[in-house]
Structure 1
Amino acid sequence: MLRISLQTMLRAALMAGGLGIFLAAALPLQAAAQDQMPMRIAVEGAFPPFNYLDANNKLQGFDIDIANALCEVGKFECQFIIEKWDDIIPNLVADKYDAIISSMSMSLERRQKVAFTEKYYNSPSVFIARKDSPISDVSPAALSGKILGVTSSTAQESYANHLYPEMKKKVFRSSPELYKGLSDGSVDIILEDKLAIYDWIANTKAGTCCEFKGPDLVDVTYFGEGAGIALRLDDKERLTRLNEALKTIKADGTYDMINAKYFPFSIE
């Protein structure tokens, strides 16, 4: 139908001697179509409230809402791909998708492998234990003999391995499994992103068992300077467009509306 329509318009333009006018009108439409950039977005889908699958097996969460806003403003044609966290960077580098929008902290180690946009939110890490636990001091010496839970291939796991090398550790595949391990006593204490576990502690029955222990941890070496969108190192055009889109949604109030949907305080 489109081909017939264009042919008809071209014939009419030729008969009217207005070919130049027709081409001038058609070129902006062609340029607009070319302006759309495809972007395959990887998310873990197991890190509520940032990204998770709802009862209908549909992706939800802060990361998903931010990604959709960026796709609209940045003129991206987006497709979401659920990926295991352990494989998420290797498969980005292997060109199986174009971006990771999945609460990835911008650590120095990760910056050797991927490029990052400007941060789109910031969150410290923190230790969490059960309320009936005698743990109050979270120094390596005080936690000697305790079992620490962490999620596989995370900044928290790297931090624990380097700063708590003598401590026994249990590594979980996902954050929900980590939280369950803490509530059922499989571990004595866990280390997790504070915003990620906030909803579990504040808004779930299971989370009432537990509380934060010790100070917020903001070590740039391990936790980076916030969460950013990861791209391949040579993907300069997409990096520029995403950074511009981030500026736009922060300036026009879109970011604040998404923030308020999930948290009663700013996480920017």
Structure 2
Amino acid sequence: MRKQTKIIISAVSLAMSVLASPTISRAGEVLDRVLSSKTVTVAVGTDWGRMSYLDQKHELAGSDIDLAKAVADRLGVEIKFVTPGWDVITSGRWEGRWDLSMGQMTPTKAREEKFAFPAIYFYSPTGAAVHKNSKLAALPDLNGKTVGVLANTIFEYYANQTFTPDWLGAKSIEYPFKAGEVRSYPSSSVPPLDDLRLGDGVRLDAVLWDKVTIQKAIDDGYPLRVLPGTLFTSPASIAILQGDKEFNDKIKEAVDAMKADGSLSKMTIKWYGADYSVDK
């Protein structure tokens, strides 16, 4: 019998937990809880493009959903999804309400103060979207323009020119433009792509995001286009709280096995039409 997937949509009260202190797991605590309850609880989004979204049946779908289910299967447990905002996830104040986070989090050294990154599973190219009626033709044309980004992301850091990639094998960053204004959108607000679709320069001149998400918006009918060129490519990882090496190793083992047998590659091709599981 197939395992039943439980979906729990986060309540507004969840955001109140941001005021609490981060919880650091004791060794083995999370893995013991997962194995004893026979359930792993995974934080995902409902509007994160092909990563995770609500389909026409109001059920979670996407590449991150498929990967999380595959990891749960390899752990031999059922899966339960919760959907806190990205700002709540990145705060690190999980308080045991979920065990791991998807969302293609970039494994920076600053984030390693709170999180462990057991498995890199995606390499994401970042680009700039403009309205289809925009006269902007190249990345340097964004100089002095109003650029929208999602708050607490590497796109925000890049737009503010405070981004220093510090993951293994990171390449130096170049800034072909300096934004005149950077508008940051919390995950609970209207996404920047929705403001950009209103018209060229109505609220934004451009949005910085990963190209996969931008393309998904275009496929969904957003009147946008992507400027030529890639700003940078970043690795993306499953994230857990620091402190449980056993849980970390189990997740790493599961994803490594998927890389070895080709199932991770097939999964990214299924959702994106190309293999983003390897750094190109």
Same fold (TM over 0.5): yes
1:107–1:155 contact (8 Å) kept in structure 2: no
**Secondary structure in 1 aligned to 2:41?**
strand
The Cα of 1:34 is off from its aligned counterpart by 5.9
In the alignment, is the contact (CA less than 8 A) between 1:36 and 1:77 conserved in 2?
no
Match of 1:205 in 2: 221
In the alignment, what sits opposite 1:252?
261
Residue 171 of structure 1: how far off its partner (Å): 2.3
Shift, 1:188, TM fit: 0.5
Q: SS of the counterpart of 1:226?
A: strand
Paired residues of 1:126 and 1:215 also in contact (CA < 8 A): yes
Change (3 A) 1:66 1:233: same
Which has the higher mean CA deviation after the structures are superposed, 34-43 or 83-92? Answer: 34-43
Once residues 235 and 190 of structure 2 are traced to their aligned partners in structure 1, the CA distance between those partners, rounded to angstroms, is 22
> Which digits, 9 at most, give the CA deviation of each residue in 1:116-149, with x for residues without a partner?
022111111111112332223434xx43432111
Compared CA separation, residues 176 and 166, structure 1 to 2 (3 A): closer
Residue 173 of structure 1 corresponds to which residue in structure 2? 186
Amino acid at match of 1:199: K
Q: Give the AA of the match of 1:172.
A: Y
Which has the higher mean CA deviation after the structures are superposed, 142-151 or 153-162?
A: 142-151
Distance of aligned partners of 1:240 and 1:217 in 2 relative to their CA distance in 1, 3 Å threshold: same
Taking the aligned partners of 2:255 and 2:36, their CA distance within structure 1 comes to: 18
> What is the CA distance between 1:205 and its match in structure 2?
2.2
**Aligned equivalents of 1:112, 1:135: Cα separation in 2:** 39
Which structure's CA Rg is the greater one? 1
For 2:159 and 2:183, how far apart are their aligned partners in 1? 11
Partner of 1:22: none
- Residue deviations 1:139-166, cap 9 Å, x none? 4xx4343211111222101211235776
- Contact 2:268–2:276 (Cα < 8 Å) also in 1: yes
CA contact (8 A) 1:50 1:62 kept: yes
1:230 is the counterpart of 2:239 = yes
Aligned with 2:213 (options 196, 214, 222): 196
Maintained 8 Å contact 1:91/1:97 = no
2:57 equivalent to 1:48: no
Task: Give the match for residue 150 of structure 1.
Answer: 149
Map of 1:160 onto structure 2: 159
Which runs of no fewer than 5 residues in structure 2 stay unpaired?
1-33, 163-176
For residues 143 and 167 of structure 1, what CA distance do their matches in structure 2 show?
9
CA contact (8 A) 1:63 1:102 kept: yes
Contact 1:151 1:171 in 2 (8 A): yes
**CA deviation digits over 1:16-56, x for unaligned, max 9?**
xxxxxxxxxxxxxxxxx968854221112220111111233
State the alpha-carbon separation in 2 of the partners of residues 34 and 193 from structure 1.
35
**Mapped contact 2:149–2:207 kept (Cα < 8 A):** yes
Match of 1:127 in 2: 128
Aligned to 1:58: 59
CA RMSD of aligned residues (A): 2.5
Change (3 A) 1:176 1:250: farther
How far apart are 1:262 and its partner, in Å? 1.1
Task: Output the CA distance in 1 between the equivalents of 2:232 and 2:63.
Answer: 21
Query: What letter is aligned with 2:109?
Result: L
* Distance across 1 between alignment mates of 2:76 and 2:206: 44
Distance in 1, Cα, partners of 2:214 & 2:122? 15
Displacement after TM superposition at 1:179 (Å): 1.6
Q: Secondary structure at the match of 1:128?
A: strand
Residue 29 of structure 1 corresponds to none
Q: 1:215 aligns with which of 229, 234, 237?
A: 229
Cα distance in 2 for residues equivalent to 1:204 and 1:165: 30
TM-score by length of 2: 0.72
Deviation string 1:157-192 (CA, Å, 9 cap, x unpaired) is 121123577621222334972222111132111100
Contact 1:92-1:98 within 8 A present in 2 as well: no
TM-score, normalised to structure 1's length? Answer: 0.75
The alpha carbon displacement at 1:75 in A equals 2.2
Aligned pairs (5 A) from 1:24-43: 38-43=39-44
Paired residues in the alignment total: 226
